[in-house]
Amino acid sequence: MEAKLDIAICLGSACFARGNNGTRKIIEEYIRDNGLWDKVNFHGGRCFDHCQAGPVLKINDTVYEQVTESTVTDILNTVFGL
């Protein structure tokens, strides 16, 4: 069985205030629209020690900084090869 991709979005106050709630919604739509729920473990997290560069998204061991609603789809397309 193939391991699921771990996608954690920071929901700490700094990242949340900078827009990660909207980004969370886009990620959920992306996963749903591309039929990926069985391939990912998507969850919220807090404090990836990158608060100054938030909003932060962590996919497996890679941390993405300054993620916005307009850049998250490109990140996901690259990760999933779509």
CATH code of the domain containing 74 = 3.40.30.10
Instruction: Output phi, psi for 35, to 5 deg.
Output: 60, 45
Could you tell me the residue range of the domain that residue 38 belongs to? Answer: 5-80
Q: How many domains does the chain have?
A: 1
Q: What is the pLDDT of residue 2?
A: 72
pLDDT in tens, the chain (82 residues): 578 999 999 988 888 889 888 999 999 999 999 999 999 999 998 877 888 888 999 999 999 999 999 999 999 999 998 8
Q: What is the pLDDT of residue 16?
A: 86
Q: Which of 12, 22, 9, 13 is nearest to 70 (CA)?
A: 22
What predicted TM-score, i.e. pTM, was given to this entire model? 0.89
Q: What is the pLDDT of residue 54?
A: 86
Please give the structure tokens belonging to residue 66.
Answer: 């300054």
For 25-64, b where at least 16 C-beta lie within 10 A, e where not — what string? ebbeebbeeeebeeebebeebeebebbeebbbbbbeeebb
